[in-house]
Structure 1
Amino acid sequence: MTQIAILTPAADDPAYKSHWPVVLERLSKALAMVDVTTVPTAWTDHVRDASGLADYPLVLGVLTWGYYERHSDWLAATKLWGEAGVKIANPAPVLGWNSDKAYLRRLEAAGIPIPPTAWSDQVTQDEVDAAFDRFGTDTLVVKPTVSGGAWKTVKLSRGEPLTDAPDGAAMIQPFLPELVANGELSLLFFGGRFSHAVMKRATAGDFRVQVQYGGGYTHVPEPPAGAVALAERVLAAIEEPLLYARIDMVEAADGWLLMEAELVEPDFYLSQAPDGGRLFAEAVRARLSSEV
């Protein structure tokens, strides 16, 4: 059996205490199919000293939920892991740049369609008022560029004051009614190969699709060709080698739009994967074999 490390939330972070062990069990069960065992270790224990990760043939950063609340530590850690040669997947530089949604600007410049977005260093009421007119909408979504799981994401109607603005860089986007009507589609890739697709839908009266807000997830046996094509374009636009990727998108009036390319700590929804995560496990085994 080969033993690898999986980075988990900080030990003193209560937000995900009841959830991440469940996801870790799913990952571990899948990896057991290829004779790989896992050792959980909090990512915050390796911010200033990478020696605790040095002996592992592979480190996965897939459970570092909550990193956005300690983003300066996260960036310091990913820089250290890269310089120390930690065998981490996805690559340490990817874990750094993908932790700030400003990367969407680079993908948009490469021709990837994203929702109309106004970028701000610090959102003001004037910027919000201007965005309503710019986008021709009566509803906006404002969210930090460094966040996860809809953290500090707010939905505003025209005329409603901005009372809980994100602190620091943020995105202002028109609310996409398709997100509620049709849901957000996630396509999972392991080792560059498509694994499975999941449609996430918000509960009645909410716009957030995450399970912690009551969202529901459904396996999509045959994702639309346009969605698959967009996901493949996104992956092709990313130069670094990826062990895993979750591409989140919404079908709007003009076609599929990329919401996020989740390359840091996405839930893989392995409970929805028809193969139980075997493709993920095989990608990990292939990566381990390439390191020999």
Structure 2
Amino acid sequence: MSASPRFRLAFATSVLVPGIHPDDAHLAACLRDRSIEPVACVWNDPAVDWTGFDAVLMRTTWDYFQHYAAFLQWLDLLPVPLINDRALVRWNSDKRYLLDLAAQGVDIIPTRLATAAELPACTRAMAGQELIVKPTVSGTAWHTVRGRAGDSAFGTELAALPRDFRYLVQPFLAEVLGAGEWSLLFFDGRYSHAVIKRPAAGDFRVQGEFGGTSRLAEPPAHVLASAQRALTATAALGHAGVAYARVDGVVADGGFRLMELEMIEPYLHLGVRPEAAERFAMHLAERLTKRTIVS
């Protein structure tokens, strides 16, 4: 890269992973080859001068949900554009977006909303079902509990959850333990690649922090079509031009059920598909050159 790059792109990170994550290393190298300087910046570090960048690409802001009010304020005050724009990030930061997508005809895991105080009554109405309960603003299985409605141990776990959150209450799909959870990656609306994620034996969480594993896999046509419908529905809700997205879901009862739509700081599984990093770098360069990013 020349001494004077055409653009400076902030990789928004966190104190958990302050530098450029190894999975993003090839992406960073490809950007440098295109005269774009990627710089890791902890999102809530007051010493960062964001005006020194042309745009911000959110990557490992993996603690934003633990500092949610400060995160929303940071979004509002950020003086340069985000690659996935701030309206999209705000919408995607609260998992109640699932109900918006369901209203557009997207097949989601059946979801109920409840305050902490409403959880006992909500789960009683689902007696006997195995459930997952998690905050609407969360990540990495934070404050997430699994249990059977009506069991005293599950009731005790629910009672210990923070009282000031709202929660999603969903049936636990055992298919996650066997067939696994799909993650499909899209860049500029185009399908790139996919992985299957599975939890460690005796666990239900697919994240690597808990022993979960992932492997490259090619999704069936109906899974890919369902993932694309989720992005189409997102555009219909006013969020068009998504630069990057990860669509997570599970096949149950013969159909793909959306679990989450990740458009803030998803792990993109670029390390296993270097050509995907190269394509993403090309798209980012096009956006910066054409100034198609908005604030």
Gap runs ≥5 in structure 1: none
Tell me the distance in 1 between the aligned counterparts of 2:250 and 2:104: 19
1:107 aligns with 101
Tell me the distance in 2 between the aligned counterparts of 1:114 and 1:229: 14
1:66 aligns with 63
Tell me the distance in 2 between the aligned counterparts of 1:106 and 1:199: 26
1:129 aligns with 124
Tell me the distance in 2 between the aligned counterparts of 1:105 and 1:162: 28
Residue 20 of structure 1 and its aligned partner are, at CA, apart by: 6.2
**Secondary structure at 2:288 match in 1:** helix
1:225 aligns with 221
2:132 aligns with 141
2:10 aligns with 5
Tell me the distance in 2 between the aligned counterparts of 1:20 and 1:208: 25
**Secondary structure at 1:97 match in 2:** helix
2:234 aligns with 238
Tell me the distance in 2 between the aligned counterparts of 1:94 and 1:120: 24
Query: Is residue 2:101 matched to residue 1:96?
Result: no
Tell me the distance in 2 between the aligned counterparts of 1:19 and 1:213: 22
Once the two structures are superposed, residues 129-168 of structure 1 have per-residue CA deviations (whole angstroms, 9 ceiling, x without a partner) of: 22236xxx2x111101100111111111241323232441
Query: Is residue 2:70 matched to residue 1:79?
Result: no
Which letter does structure 1 place at the counterpart of 2:8? Q
Please give the TM-score of this superposition, normalised by the length of structure 2.
Answer: 0.87
**Secondary structure at 1:245 match in 2:** strand
Tell me the distance in 1 between the aligned counterparts of 2:216 and 2:186: 15
Tell me the distance in 1 between the aligned counterparts of 2:183 and 2:17: 24
Residue 271 of structure 1 and its aligned partner are, at CA, apart by: 1.3
1:178 aligns with 175
8 A contact 2:246–2:268 mirrored in 1: yes
Gap runs ≥5 in structure 2: none
8 A contact 1:8–1:65 mirrored in 2: yes
Which letter does structure 1 place at the counterpart of 2:257? L
| Aligned-residue RMSD, C-alpha | 2.1
**Secondary structure at 1:284 match in 2:** helix
8 A contact 2:11–2:59 mirrored in 1: yes
**Secondary structure at 1:195 match in 2:** strand
Which letter does structure 2 place at the counterpart of 1:149? T
Tell me the distance in 1 between the aligned counterparts of 2:68 and 2:51: 23
Residues paired across the two proteins, number: 276
Tell me the distance in 2 between the aligned counterparts of 1:162 and 1:280: 45
Which letter does structure 2 place at the counterpart of 1:151? W
Tell me the distance in 1 between the aligned counterparts of 2:183 and 2:136: 20
8 A contact 1:79–1:93 mirrored in 2: no
Tell me the distance in 2 between the aligned counterparts of 1:95 and 1:4: 18
The correspondence of residues 187-202 of structure 1 with structure 2, limited to 5 A, is 187-202=184-199
The 1:19–1:114 alpha-carbon spacing in structure 2 relative to 1, beyond 3 Å, is farther
Tell me the distance in 2 between the aligned counterparts of 1:36 and 1:227: 35
Residue 71 of structure 1 and its aligned partner are, at CA, apart by: 0.5
Residue 17 of structure 1 and its aligned partner are, at CA, apart by: 4.0
The 1:146–1:20 alpha-carbon spacing in structure 2 relative to 1, beyond 3 Å, is farther
Which letter does structure 1 place at the counterpart of 2:119? T
Once the two structures are superposed, residues 14-62 of structure 1 have per-residue CA deviations (whole angstroms, 9 ceiling, x without a partner) of: xx3489643443431343343432111111136xx9x922332221012
The 1:284–1:97 alpha-carbon spacing in structure 2 relative to 1, beyond 3 Å, is same
Q: Which one of the candidate residues 149, 152, 162 is aligned to 2:143?
A: 152
